[in-house]
Structure 1
Amino acid sequence: MPASRRRRWGLRAAALLAGLVLTTGGVGHAVINAAEHGVDRVDPFRGLRDRPEAGSGLNILLIGTDSREGLTAEERERYHLGNASCYCADTILLLHLSASGDRATVVSLPRDSYATLPEHTFAVSGAHHAPHADKLNAALSHGGPPLMVRTVEDMTGLHVDHYVEVSFTGFVRAVDEVGGVEVCTPRPLRDEQAGLDLPAGTSRLDGAEALAYVRARHVDGASDLGRMRRQQEFMAAFAEEAISGGLLLDPARLGTVVRSLLASVRADPGFGAEEMLRLAEALRDFRPSDARFASVPVEDTARAVPGLGSTVAWDERAAERLFTALDEDRPLPSGPGPAPAPGNEPASAEPATGVAC
Structure 2
Amino acid sequence: MTLHNAGDLARRLAENAEAVCRHYLSAGRRHGNYWLVGDVHNTPGRSLYVRLHGPSEGRGAAGHWTDGATGQHGDLLDIIRESLGLLDFRDVADEARRFLCLPQPQPRQPPDRGRSHAFGHDASPQASGTADAARRLWAMSRPIAGTLAETWLRHRDLTRLSDLSCLRFHPDCYYRTDADSPTETWPAMIAAVTDLAGSVTGIHRTWLVRDGKGKAPVAMPRRAMGDLLGHAVRFGAVFDVLAAGEGIETVLSLHKIMPDLPLAACLSSAHLAAMAFPPTLRRLYVLRDDDPAGDHAVTTLQTRTQEAGIECLVLSPRLADFNDDLCYLGRGAMRAILHPQLAPQDVARFLHPVTH
Q: Higher helix fraction: Structure 1 or Structure 2?
A: 1
Task: Give TM-score scaled by structure 2 length.
Answer: 0.24
Task: Give TM-score scaled by structure 1 length.
Answer: 0.24
